[in-house]
Structure 1
Amino acid sequence: MIYPSGRAVWAAAAGAVPAFLVALALPSFWYLGLLWSCLLLAFLAVDAAAGRGRASLNASIDAPQQVGVGGEFSVQIAARHSGPRAAEARVGHDARLAPVSDSGGTLLPTPGGGSLDLRFQALRRGIASFDRLWVRWRGPFGLVWNQVVLPVESKVAVLPDVSSARGEALTLLQRATLAEGHAQRRAGQGREFDALKDYQPGMGRRMIDWKRSARHGKLLAREFRIEENNNIVLAIDSGRLMCEPVDGVPKVDRAVTAALLSAFIALKGGDMVSLFGFDARPRVSSGAVRGPASFAMIQKRAAEIDYSSEETNFTLALRTLAARLDRRSLVIIFTDFVDPISAELMLRTVGRLTERHLVLFMLMKDTELEGLADMPPRSGEDVARAVVAGGLLRERQVVIGRLRLLGAHVIEANHNRLGPALVERYLQFKQEDLL
């Protein structure tokens, strides 16, 4: 793209006044006033021709792979071209990022091109992207801008900040003093061989170890155990209800923060952790990982859980999740619901999931409804609001009661205590050998 610069506009405006005076003073020689315009057009043509080399322009963006919410980071733009070195650049970004000062500037000259450092701040969790890069430079007379729009693809994972709650979770972990290497003994359910025992009537024939039985002259059966590396699944609902804000922050962001906090503790304790995000259909699914070094990968996959305006399809999501689990797991579901009617399909699916797995629902207290229900009745409208809010809260408790009857565990905590409450319950499960 070629377009005139501000210098060309001012030059054209400056030449218009003398041309008008010449035409006014010498009407028969009016064409002399066009000499300045023709001269300016000639210089513009020279500047445009000097912009050759746009095809050889090559630019790149260097940005960090991940950054915390609210953090600032640097982005380096490097451009290489055969034309003039004095150039300007501007980068296009999405709404998750905001420039600290400006999103563009003048490229500092380097061998073969130029470079520019910009500062950005991460505003929202998710996968932020830089999608376009504008580079422009002037001709030798400064009358024409030569501009090129280059498509680029640079992504930055904006991760939630769990540093504030990590200290409290570590304190809870130290109190619990997880016994490393402790094994849960559930004969016939585990996969790890534990010991041989005398065969007893009623045991399955598949448990008999025929080779060792022949060696000892009596029937011996294999006893298995469930190892300590339990399978923890963090299922996060990112549907419409979970994208509503609580105290200025979307519920899904608070759920992701609590999930990452529990993942950090579970990986520290030797368990296996996987992440599952869904709304109208499954969106994010990570494989099970183990060890503290895998926490960075879980963080990055959590950033892929995006905001959604679609209704949550619990039937599709939970059935898909159940089909992928080949062993007993602790399934932690972060979700929200309004009334028993909207939660009916979820209740039907949960009943099948609790038959094999340990299911825990993490819910955030609706402080807005509780405030309306407790509001002093100063007018008729206040009474109506309190009655409606109280009815919604009672219906919510009906759904929670039905979940517990189906065998699921439910935690309803304040949004600022969601993570610590989950860690406490997880450690309690570990101590009671429920996983």
Structure 2
Amino acid sequence: MLKFIRSLYFGRRLFYALSAISILFLVSFWFEPLYRITWTLAAILSVLLLTDLVTLFKGPSIGAERNLPEKFSNSDENIVKVSIKNNYGFKVFSEVIDEIPVQFQKRDFLRAAEIPTQAKIDFEYYLKPLQRGEYVFGNLNIFISTFLKLVKRRFVFNKDQVVKVYPSFIQMKKLDFLALDQKISLHGIKRIRRIGHTMEFEQIKEYVRGDDVRTINWKATAKHGNLMVNQFQDERSQPVYSVIDCGRMMKMPFEGLSLLDYAINSSLAFSNVALKKKDKVGMLSFSNKIDNVQKASSKLSQLNKIMEALYNVNTGFYDSDFSLLYSRVKKHISHRSLLMLYTNFEHTSGLQRQLPFLKALAKQHLLVVIFFENTEVTQLIKMIPKNVSESAHQTVAEQFSHNKQLMAKELQRHGIQTLLTRPSDLSINTINKYLEIKSRGLL
């Protein structure tokens, strides 16, 4: 009985009909002939209500399923599929209310559809998470009614499904092609001019128009009677590390996503490209302590290890300890490596405090400091001021933007590779920087 009561709901038509009958009873106080007609209508409504109840609750039920992917990709649109099967012998009308995880703060989800006799329908919707972690889906509630729509029967499916949100593997797959051909020209992707070539020998091949005449192998030419050239390839198996600052400065949000999550998504995409380039990849995260360390490796399983490590990276409100980073890198990374350091500086004084440790790291490794433009400040600079107050704000914003440029030049002056980028362009610019370093043979 309790199960029946919990699954029983009344439709709007019933309440409209009851409201109309109540008004007719009120009017019949002055027009007595209307009294009997109103009782007749009430009896008809009672019969229809009972018929609707018996039809819905005595007949067969429906089947439904919510299909979730194995994991969600952070900051991307993820698909959720819902299937509903009508086992009744007549057409039914359905209303689907899915209890979406609390992180989305979405409580107005409703999908209505007609389901023909013994038919199955499918629909899908998309969710865009902005935080990593576990997301719990509640009940998949389906309300079924007949063409009368006086009564609804509630069905509950897929209670408490859990899906984990990982760093953006969708973005990683989109940028995967950069490992194959860096000459592809797309919007937002910078073409890199190859200044020279590394000296890792690959093969001797026959000369074709366009080959560098400086690579002609004269001994092989004399032996074969045709011009032969040496072909070189980028050096492989070089250790490459993503070093992620988890301090309070990386807590800043842009477009709903923190700088830390931008750095994590970029690290995953960059590591994938580096692995395709046959380099060894690793990662390290730090704030006031060293949190996660993955030694560089070129194994195929390394990308999954890095993804799991990045999934567990979190930030607090601590100041980052660059001296601790320097001591740990010096102790555990003995070979000269490429260090892609994701961090952020909002003022030159913050950079000056950490500059001695950055210079020390750059002496032993090829260090690339990646920090962020403040896009909110950039928008403020572009707007036209309407009063003195807005002009003052714009002047301060221009000073902040200028300081960012000065910090980038200060790092370059000390021989440290620098990348100042907008958060939205971080992954593409980081990969381009890596490809540029590979092509120039700096490592």
Cα pair distance change 1:241/1:43, threshold 3 Å: same
* Structure-2 change in CA distance of 1:34 and 1:375 (3 Å): closer
Same amino acid, percent of matched pairs: 15
Instruction: Tell me whether 1:426 sits opposite 2:437 in the alignment.
Output: yes
Q: How do 1:19-418 and structure 2 match up within 5 A?
A: 19-26=25-32, 36=42, 40=46, 43=49, 47=53, 51=57, 59-63=65-69, 65=71, 74-79=79-84, 86=92, 87-93=94-100, 104-106=111-113, 108=115, 114-120=120-126, 122=128, 131-132=137-138, 133-138=140-145, 142-148=149-155, 150-154=159-163, 158=168, 159-160=170-171, 161-162=174-175, 167-168=181-182, 172=192, 229-237=237-245, 241-242=249-250, 255=263, 259-260=267-268, 262-276=270-284, 288=296, 290=298, 297=304, 304=311, 310-311=316-317, 313-315=319-321, 318=325, 322=329, 325=332, 327-328=334-335, 329-342=337-350, 346=354, 358-365=366-373, 382=391, 386=395, 389-390=398-399, 393-394=402-403, 397=406, 401=410, 409-415=416-422, 416=425, 418=429
SS of equivalent residue, structure 1 residue 142: coil
SS at match of 1:314: coil
Work out the CA distance in 2 between the residues paired with 1:243 and 1:35.
65
Q: How much has 1:8 moved relative to structure 2?
A: 1.2
- Amino acid of the residue matched to residue 371 of structure 2? L
1:17 is aligned to 23
1:347-380 CA-partner distances (Å, limit 9, x unpaired): 5765786686554311245577689899999998
1:36 is displaced (CA, Å) by 2.4
Residue 21 of structure 2 corresponds to residue 8 of structure 1: no
- Residues 108 and 370 of structure 1: CA distance in aligned 2, closer, same or farther (over 3 Å): closer
Give the Cα separation in 1 of the matches to 2:379 and 2:246.
25
Query: 1:15-64, CA deviations, whole angstroms, 9 ceiling, x for partnerless residues?
Result: 2233224444459x99x859928964993697299548999976332447
Contact in 1 for aligned 2:61/2:87 (Cα 8 Å): no
Map Cα deviations across residues 381-414 of structure 1 (whole Å, 9 max, x no partner): 7578647854784588469748976xx8240334
Shift of 1:66: 5.7
When the two chains are superposed, the root-mean-square deviation of aligned CA atoms in Å is 6.0
Q: Return 5+ residue gaps in structure 2 as ranges.
A: 1-5, 185-190, 203-234
Counterpart for residue 186 of structure 1: none
What TM-score do the two structures reach when normalised by structure 1? 0.59
**Cα distance, 1:375–1:148 mapped onto 2, change above 3 Å:** closer
The structure-2 alpha-carbon separation of the partners of 1:366 and 1:119, relative to structure 1 and needing over 3 Å to count, comes to: closer
- Letter of the 2:343 counterpart: T
> What is the TM-score of this pair, normalised by structure 2?
0.58
Counterpart-to-counterpart distance in 1, 2:20 and 2:136? 41
**Aligned partner of 2:175: which letter?**
V
Is 259-268 or 126-135 further displaced after alignment? Answer: 126-135
Structure 1 residue aligned with 2:205? none
Mapped to 1, the partners of 2:44 and 2:296 lie a distance apart of: 72
Query: CA 1:75–1:96 in 2, change beyond 3 Å: closer, same or farther?
Result: same
State the alpha-carbon separation in 2 of the partners of residues 409 and 90 from structure 1.
54
Structure 2 distance, partners of 1:42, 1:93, is 35
CA distance in 2, matches of 1:289, 1:6: 63
Q: Partner amino acid for 1:315?
A: D
Question: What code does the residue aligned with 1:20 have?
Answer: L
Letter in 1 for 2:143: R
Alpha-carbon offset, residue 336 of structure 1: 0.9
Quote how far apart the aligned CAs of 1:333 are.
1.1
8 Å CA contact 1:98–1:122 kept in 2: the answer is no
Contact 1:15/1:36 (CA < 8 Å) preserved in 2?
A: yes
